Chain A
Amino acid sequence: MKIVIAGAGEVGSHLAKLLSKENQDIIVIDNDESKLMNLDMYNLLTHVGSPTSFKTLRDADVAEADLYIAVTPFETRNVTSCAMAKSLGAKKTVARIDNYEFLRSENRTFFETHGVDFLIYPEFLAAEEMMTALEKTWVRNWFELCDGQLIVVGVKLRESAKLVGKKLKELYSLSSSLHISAIKHKYETVIPGGNDEICAGDIAYIATTKDYVDRLLELCGKEQLNVKRVMIMGGSRIAIQLARLAGDRYKIKIIESDLEKCHKLAEKLPDCNIVHGDARDIDILHDEGIEEHDAFIALTDSSETNILACLTAKEYGVKKTIAEVENIQFIAEAENLNIGKVINKKLLASSHIFQILLDSDSSNAKCLALADAEVAELVAKEDSRITRADVKDLHLSHDMTIAGLVRDGVGHLVQGNTRIQAGDHVVVFCLSGAIHKVEKLFN
């Protein structure tokens, strides 16, 4: 697939590297040559020029592109650029936006007529993700399919969990309603075999069906928290989105160090408590009653600050903490520390792009990008390779596994002798760089 990415910022660069590893043809456009220099050593083509110049777009051969992704920091530029690319012949276009209004269904036609096929709003995605995290406090990742018929969760397992210390084949003989798709051990995610064992401290990605979730909770030795009071550090755009999404479900207190910003926040979010101060200051945390909060969310620009602030909050007895970590290298570190949940805008954006890649016709396919792996929902097409044999005879490569499927609205887990039928919604767990293999299996 030929993909043109406009904007070599954080999201753009991340997507370019990722997609180039997935064997796609990538061209990156940016005004700033120095940003492109860093990308030049990857297997892709770079092009200096403005994303809103017809000449640049023609030079980058946008007419031939299957997908055009505009991820510059400016939403109007992204939309314009997509419209231009579409008029030149790009098949599908994606624009990054920063305005919830744009996502509303009544405004969809505007974007469609102007040639913007998909919109990504990373801040909104982040807020949505955090809402799930506040609701399902016991998991790291929650990926559900068809109204929760099939669920994949990422859970950090501690000594107390019943799953720890058992070989997978023992587990499967105990119960057939869970499927351990992957285990993240220290810094590495692996797709386990029957003889592998789960250790305390690992993050396990487990697929299960709707009825079994409560039992899984118990097996993992976790309990569900009821979150009422949330403290947010840093009044960023994500914080505003989160507060809007939450409405009156949670009582939210935002601590922001910039006075100007505090005033604006107070104006925009009348239901929240806005506090002016530095959340790194323990006295302020005390004054604002950190102990009484159920969740602490750190959303400042600095990943390091967010990680450390969450650790401090944990010390004060806050049960659930969420940190925004924008450096991908730090994610593994943060996960090994006791931070409940890590949010990363780049991963959220790439989840969205993968979803478009996998299934550009329908928008109901889901995809979840983790730091070094992806969980994707795919619909098996008529006569695709995946339907031709039982799962055990497909000889899938070692970097992917089929976790489960939803057939006729009912979730099932997949075993060796399951045969996938056309029309099944299948959940695939694959390590980074393998998603194009998955795509081939299904199309």
Chain B
Amino acid sequence: MKQKKSIINIPVVLRMMGWLLMIEAAFMAVPLLTGIVYGEESSVKAFACSALITCGAGALMTFGIRPRDTDMHRREGLLLTASVWVFFSLFGMLPFLFDNALSSITDAFFEAMSGFTTTGASVITDVESASHSVLMWRAIMNWIGGMGIILFTLAVIPMLNHQGGIQLFNAEVTGITHDKLRPRISQTAKSLWLVYVLLTVLLTVLLWVGPMNAFDAVCHSFTTVSTGGYSTKNASIAWWNSDYVEIVITVFMFLGGINVALIYTALSGKVSALYKNGTVRWYVGIVLLFVAVCAAYQLYNGTFEKLSDIFTCIAAITSTGFSVANYDNWGPFVILLLMVLMFCGSCAGSTAGGAKIDRIIFLIKNTNNEFYRVLHPNSITTVRVNSKVVPNAIVMKVIAFLCIYLMLFVTGGIVLTALGLPSIDAMFASLTALSNIGLGSGITGPEGSFAVLPDAAKWVMSWYMLVGRLELFTVLIILTKGFWVK
């Protein structure tokens, strides 16, 4: 039999990590070019240094490590997926430090993690004073993170096109079960990225036609399609004060919340798949319901502000987190409604965060069944989604997921209150990190900033963003003893 080896093949993970870091370095070239175009000398230097360091570290890991066994199994896949986000943030924060956009490592790491996980909570208090390169880098971080670092790699590096690739795909892509679009994993990844790029290009053009300049249009389309939410202005989208911009961005945030695989199917000719899909119907329903409730409440209170309701609701449910109005003034009722939306999230398989509507549907249908079984104890009931029966094991997994999600949300809130935040702000911040939203309330809200949080709170939130982005299991499993011991 085979010789006994350590349980986890660390060398192969590090070697892959090296490849991924070199890809990150390649992405850094974009802000570097931006810097050159805008003649920002110090930024160019900062990005050149960061790219060199990242690329150097990547090359060292890739070419310095020669693993004997090149197989990637489940454990390696999970470890690689979870740690790649941390590594990307660690190297991705370098430009912020070199360019003096942020001074402390805590802030820079928070900003980078918030970028890659598409949370979009920023600690840069005055983004307008930051250089174009830094703004571009923030947008790019959102954009890569939205679809997924691993997914990008699967599309471009053929060496992952084997069974190990599937493990990575499953560990990173959001959702309960993962639709493969095409027979090979790299083809699936390419199809998904194709849709993503198409949406981005389309939005860039639409924004550019409107009141935005080219730079802002590119940055905002990167952060909208990825449902990230980094803006180039302090006032976010409200700066333009334009209905056109708000409507266009609302539509694309909404699209960003739909399963990308479904958009691909629709684009390839089967448009009916879109409105026949149960999850999408629920998604539309929930958005409409909450917009209506918000609007009615504000009409009653006299704080009604035309589009901003729809905008804010969609920004919350799709986890984008752009803001057009100071929703803090709308009262605690609306804040709590927003929190419900933030918890729900959008469709599984989209770029958005949150617990995902699919899971909520499972929960509701299963609860319904449980009620039915109280009266009819011997009846056999099934949970049906999209007219397909969902196996019990998956329903169990979903319920476990939601329980852990809630527990993490509450624990996070409590920890943040211990660190000195007011209770509702703490809860909001905990959820905003876990669901990768980026909205804040109270001291972190539209008029405040995440910069005022104590360092410890920033680390807690960074960690929450990672856990939330990879949908709990991928990260949490690594903390269990069973992962490291056979």
Contacts and interface: CB of A to CB of B under 8 A. Distances in A.
Interface of A: 2, 20-21, 23, 25-27, 41-45, 187
B456 to A, nearest CB: 40
Contact of B183 (A21, A26, A41, A187): A26
A21 B1 CA distance: 23
A45 B163 contact: no
B166 A2 contact: no
B184 interface: yes
Contacts of A2: 183
- Chain B: interface size category: 10 to 19
A159 B187 CA distance: 52
Q: Interface centre among B183, B184, B185, by most A CB within 10 Å?
A: B183
A44 B185 CA distance: 7
Interface string B165-177: 1110010000000
A25 B166 contact: no
Given A20-B183, A43-B161, A44-B183, 9 more contacts: A20-B163, A23-B184, A41-B163, A41-B167, A42-B166, A43-B162, A43-B183, A45-B180, A187-B2
A25 B163 contact: no
A26 to B, nearest CB: 5
A45 B182 contact: yes
Interface of B: 1-2, 161-163, 165-167, 170, 180, 182-185, 187
Nearest to A2: B183
B270 to A, nearest CB: 11
Nearest to A21: B162
Contacts of A41: 163, 166-167, 170
Contacts of B161: 23, 43
A187 B187 CA distance: 34
Contacts, number: 34
B182 A187 contact: no
Contacts of A25: 182-184, 187
Contact of A27 (B162, B163, B167, B183): B183
B165 to A, nearest CB: 7
B187 A42 contact: no
B264 to A, nearest CB: 14
Contacts of A20: 163, 183
A45 B162 contact: no
B326 to A, nearest CB: 48
B166 A187 contact: no
Contact of B165 (A27, A43, A187): A43
A117 B276 CA distance: 39
Nearest to B161: A43
B1 A43 contact: no
B187 A43 contact: no
A42 B182 CA distance: 13
Q: Interface centre among A21, A23, A27, A45, by most B CB within 10 Å?
A: A45
A26 B183 CA distance: 5
Contacts of A44: 183-184
Contacts of B184: 23, 25, 43-44
A137 B101 CA distance: 79
Contacts of B163: 20-21, 41-43
A23 B165 CA distance: 13
A45 B183 contact: yes
A21 to B, nearest CB: 7
Given A2-B183, A25-B182, A187 B162 contact: no
Nearest to B162: A43
Contact of B185 (A21, A27, A43, A187): A43
Nearest to A27: B183
A42 B163 CA distance: 5
Given A25-B187, A43-B162, A43-B165, A187 B1 contact: yes
A23 B183 CA distance: 10
Nearest to A37: B391
Q: Interface centre among A2, A43, A187, by most B CB within 10 Å?
A: A43
A212 to B, nearest CB: 37
A35 to B, nearest CB: 14
10 A-B pairs with the lowest CB-CB distances in the bound complex, closest first: A25-B183, A45-B183, A45-B180, A26-B183, A43-B185, A27-B183, A44-B183, A43-B163, A25-B184, A43-B166
25 contacts: A2-B183, A20-B163, A20-B183, A21-B163, A23-B161, A25-B182, A25-B184, A25-B187, A26-B183, A27-B183, A41-B166, A41-B167, A41-B170, A43-B161, A43-B162, A43-B163, A43-B165, A43-B166, A43-B183, A43-B184, A44-B183, A44-B184, A45-B180, A45-B183, A187-B2
A27 B182 CA distance: 9
A331 to B, nearest CB: 15
Contacts of B2: 187
Contacts of B185: 43
Nearest to A4: B183
B233 to A, nearest CB: 44
A30 to B, nearest CB: 15
A43 B158 CA distance: 13
Contacts of A187: 1-2
A240 B44 CA distance: 79
Contacts of A45: 180, 182-183
Contacts of B183: 2, 20, 25-27, 43-45
Contacts of B162: 21, 43
